[in-house]
Amino acid sequence: MSASIDLKIVTEKSQFAPVNSPTRPFPLEWTRNIGIAAHIDAGKTTTTERILFYSGAVHKMGEVHEGSTVTDWMEQERERGITITAAAISCAWNASCGPWKGIKQRINIIDTPGHVDFTAEVERSLRVLDGAVAVFCAVAGVQPQSETVWRQANKYRVPRVAFINKMDRTGADFFRAISEMREKLKANAHPLFIPIGKEENFSGVIDLVQQIAYIFDETTDPLGLSPITSAIPAEYVEQTKEYRDRLIEAVSDFDDVIAEKYLGGEEISVDELMLGVRKATISLQFTGVIPGSAFKKKGVQRLLDCVVNYLPSPIDVPPMKGQDSDGTEVEAKVDDKARLAGLAFKLWSDPFVGKLVFFRVYTGTLTKGMSLYNPRTRRSERVSRLVLMRAIEREEIDMAYAGDICALVGVKDVITGDTLSHEDNDIRLEPPSFPDPVIAMSIEPNSKADQEKMGTALQRLVAEDPTLRVSTDPDTGQVILAGMGELHLDIIRDRMKREFKVEATAGKPQIAYRETVTAAAEAEGKFIRQSGGKGQYGHVVVKIEPNEKGKGIEVVNEIVGGAIPKEFIKPATDGILEGSNNGVIAGYPTVDAIVRITDGSFHEVDSSELAFKMAGIFAFKEAMKKAKPILLEPIMAVELTTPEDYQGDLMGDINRRRGTIQGMENKAGACIVTAAVPLETLFGYVTDIRSLSKGRASASITPSHFEQVPNAQLQKIVEASPKAPART
């Protein structure tokens, strides 16, 4: 199967044969599961389109500006020119160099959104991928959402290569982009290729590993199908040697053979250096960088070579970890012959086949008609159909193997993050985690018919999107939608109208404020009812104090001597947690506090779980009132890019919005301003800056942290909050 590959060159692992099923069309070592991730407008979707064209998966290149791309298939995506939902698609590639030269590799690609409002799509995609291509703009360099994506990839330990796109643009600077990767992302980034020319003169790349040049000629080869291979141009020989030496020095930290030869001044072969780069990349401590221009069809084939040669196959990454029913850690080792286990990482409602469950097979083999066990529901469900996704199109298959990404039809009671496995495989894999919503709005159907349809629509949309929350306001009866930003909620409303034919009116967006305490305090809560017969008695004493930022609410049991019996500790804790859902200033959830249950009392006959739960609620409220509570508001990190002519007006606008300017730099003729601005002042911000700059400024907004609300704003927020406690 892999006779033409010297396995010692490719990897030090030697267990290929046992894990592959004889019926598998692609061996595991010939499979790559990768994501394309970056800041909005860095060129992810265009890069994906070029990959699909060069690999033969499509016969015509789609363009974002024409609305003809394969992976941006939703109407909203094509109208707005942005990616909203992660699209999965497969292709195959013959590398032009390296140990896999001439062997077709299967590459499963997920093109992810760049907009922060759809960060859940990136989060769940990176959770199931083995490698990633991080795309950066050669002009803008490392942008805010680039940093978010990088942190997500670090969290899930995803090896990656970087593609510096838009090298043909005015102001493009390959080496400055790498410098920013090192500075802002703390990445050990090194070029694998260096560019020939820059901006409009960008005409080729030099492979530092093979020491050859690839020249692009737009006149004779407008589609970029056959770049000219040549010797390194004389004026680049010195630069090539310098950067190749730096690459070898960096890789020698991860490969003993290269380290010995480097220190001994011996020549290092192409195969040895390739293996070293591969080891370094898979270790997560090294990122190889490739220059190119996806729009101008330059450098994408070299990126594909790097995906095959340097990013891991499913067997090159550590086994997926999970827990069995006893909470003991277990592993899902990649093996076609093992018992099946995999992760449902995305749900989608397809108008033709119904509910699609996107599924990553980690171990074992999945067949059509198989029953899968869900440890969350403790029930089994049958897979009626199995499909490979090609964005909106589907290809029916009979079997999926370890390492594959496919979609299941027929399973009903599944949510994002569920493990589905063979009934005899007791494992629950670690699900992806998602950020909390930062903005909410009320939504009301326009008619009774719309009301009935709206319930179904929201149920489906919430199942698909883990960052979308739906609740009913107990005071007004309004349906409240909470999400990651204005655009997120706008897209949800648009989808309700187009896909579910629901006409609805949205209320003014509401901010997800938080409350916390700034001092320690002690209080007691008593719940006593006596009305003949058995009464109710619960008594809890608590001490509350500030906790570290981001820790949430922690409840600690410090009862000694049985002042409160063990069976009443849990209801008291539940009461404290329930009380923390509605703070004492404006009724918003309380965060970052430690509550210690220190004392209490009980009645042999009258005490009950309900009484202690109510006592817990009362004790928490009283303690919080005494602990100098404050209201916190979400602060957003804003990066504003504007021509210098409008810099003053736009900075003045940030100040009017209670923003704090944190930095300024000039890059490629534009001024980039970074600021921290309260979310409450940012509604309609992008529209406003376009008006102020005649459409020439742009901004990216990402959640940053929470800060205390100024006293001048506090009273307004309390008066406007429907959740504010009644004042006596």
* 187 confidence band (pLDDT: 50, 70, 90): very high
Torsion of CA 581, 584, 587, 593, to 10 degrees: -40
Same domain, 367 and 273: no
pLDDT, residue 58, reads 67
Residues 597 and 642 in one domain: no
Task: Indicate if the pLDDT at residue 579 is higher than 90.
Answer: yes
- Mean pLDDT on 252-256: 90
- Say if residue 190 is in the same domain as residue 50: yes
Residues 86 and 170 in one domain: yes
Please check whether residue 725 lies inside any domain of the structure: no
Model pLDDT, residue 525: 94
Q: How many domains does the chain have?
A: 5
**623 and 660 co-located in one domain:** no
Last residue in a domain, options 429, 448, 463: 429
Does residue 5 fall inside a structural domain? no
Is it the case that residue 60 has pLDDT exceeding 90?
no
Q: Are residues 111 and 187 in the same domain?
A: yes
Q: What is the reported pLDDT for 193?
A: 96
495 shares its domain with 572: no
Taking 70 as the threshold, does the pLDDT of residue 557 lie above it?
Answer: yes
Dump pLDDT digits (tens) for 476-517: 677 888 887 777 888 888 888 888 888 888 877 778 889 999
Beta strands in 147-272 (DSSP E): 160-165, 189-191, 193-196, 204-207, 212-215, 228-230
Instruction: State the CATH number of the domain containing residue 615.
Output: 3.30.230.10
Q: Is the pLDDT of residue 59 over 70?
A: no
Q: Is the pLDDT of residue 116 over 70?
A: no
531 vs 563: CA distance, rounded Å: 25
DSSP assignment, residue 420?
E
Does 10 map to a domain?
Answer: no
Residues 255 and 234 in one domain: yes
Give me the CATH number covering residue 662.
3.30.70.240
Q: Which of 2, 30, 4, 10 is nearest to 272 (CA)?
A: 10
pLDDT at 728 over 70: no
Q: What is the pLDDT of residue 562?
A: 86
The per-residue DSSP string of 28-90 comes to GGGEEEEEEEESTTSSHHHHHHHHHHHTTS-SS---GGGT--SS--SHHHHHHTS--S-EEEE
Q: How far apart are CA 559 and CA 543, in angstroms?
A: 12
602 vs 346, more confident: 602
Of the two residues 37 and 164, the one the predictor is more confident about is: 164
Residue 722 has pLDDT above 70, yes or no: no
- Domain residues for the domain of 483 are 439-512
In whole angstroms, what is the distance from residue 533 CA to residue 92 CA? 77
Query: Among 264-273, 411-420, 536-545, 684-693, whose mean pLDDT is lowest?
Result: 684-693
| Residue 519 included in any domain | yes
Name the E strands within 147-203: 160-165, 189-191, 193-196
The pLDDT of residue 533 is: 65
In a domain, 25, yes or no: no
Query: pLDDT band at residue 114, thresholds of 50, 70 and 90?
Result: low
pLDDT surpassing 80 at residue 74: no
Shared-domain flag, residues 616 and 644:
no
Over 60: is that where the pLDDT of 37 sits?
Answer: yes
Q: Which residues have a Cβ under 8 Å from the Cβ of 416 and sit 6 or more positions away?
A: 124, 344, 345, 346, 347, 431, 432, 463, 464, 466
Q: What pLDDT, on the 0 to 100 scale, is given for residue 1? A: 34
Q: What is the pLDDT of residue 452?
A: 80
pLDDT at residue number 3: 35
Write the CATH number for 404.
2.40.30.10
Strand partners, 522: 543
* pLDDT exceeds cutoff 90 at 224: no
Strands 320-323 and 366-367: unpaired
Q: Looking at the predicted structure, is the pLDDT value of residue 319 above 70?
A: yes
361: Cβ–Cβ under 8 A, 6 or more apart, which residues? Answer: 340, 342, 400, 401, 402, 403, 404, 405, 406
Specify whether 109 is located in the same domain as 125.
Answer: yes
Instruction: Kindly state whether residue 345 falls inside one of the protein's structural domains.
Output: yes
Q: How far apart are CA 144 and CA 146, in angstroms?
A: 5
The partner residues of 146 in beta bridges, in order of sequence, read: none
In tens, the pLDDT along 197-223 reads 988 999 999 999 999 999 998 888 888
CATH code, domain carrying 502: 3.30.70.870
Q: What is the mean pLDDT of residues 679-692?
A: 82
Range with the lowest mean pLDDT among 65-74, 338-347, 548-557, 679-688?
65-74
- The CATH code of the domain that includes 234 is 3.40.50.300
Give the pLDDT band of residue 246 (cuts 50, 70, 90).
Answer: very high
CA 400 – CA 449 distance, rounded (Å): 42
In the listed set 368, 401, 429, which residue is the last one of a domain according to the structure? 429
CB-side exposure of 300: number of CA atoms within 13 Å?
Answer: 27
pTM of the model: 0.71
196 versus 688: which is more confidently predicted? 196
Query: Considering Cα of 394, then 399, then 402, then 408, what sign does the dihedral take?
Result: positive
Q: Is 180 inside a domain boundary?
A: yes
Asked if residue 339 and residue 312 are part of one domain, the reply reads no
Highest mean pLDDT among 59-68, 270-279, 526-535, 719-728: 270-279
Per-residue pLDDT reduced to its tens digit, 141-174: 988 778 878 888 888 899 999 999 999 999 999 9
In a domain, 21, yes or no: no
Q: Round to whole Å and give the CA distance between 695 and 682.
A: 18
3-state SS class at 423: coil
Percentage of the residues of the chain whose pLDDT score is greater than 70: 88
Q: What is the pLDDT of residue 304?
A: 92
Q: Of 627, 649, 670, which residue sits at a domain end?
A: 627
One domain, residues 312 and 324 = no
How many Cβ atoms are within 10 Å of 519's Cβ, its own excluded? Answer: 11
pLDDT in tens, 287-317: 999 999 988 989 999 999 999 999 999 989 8
Contact yes or no for 76/495 (Cβ under 8 A): yes
Contact between 696 and 646 (Cβ < 8 Å): yes
* Across 647-673, average pLDDT: 88
- Residue 629 pLDDT greater than 90, yes or no: yes
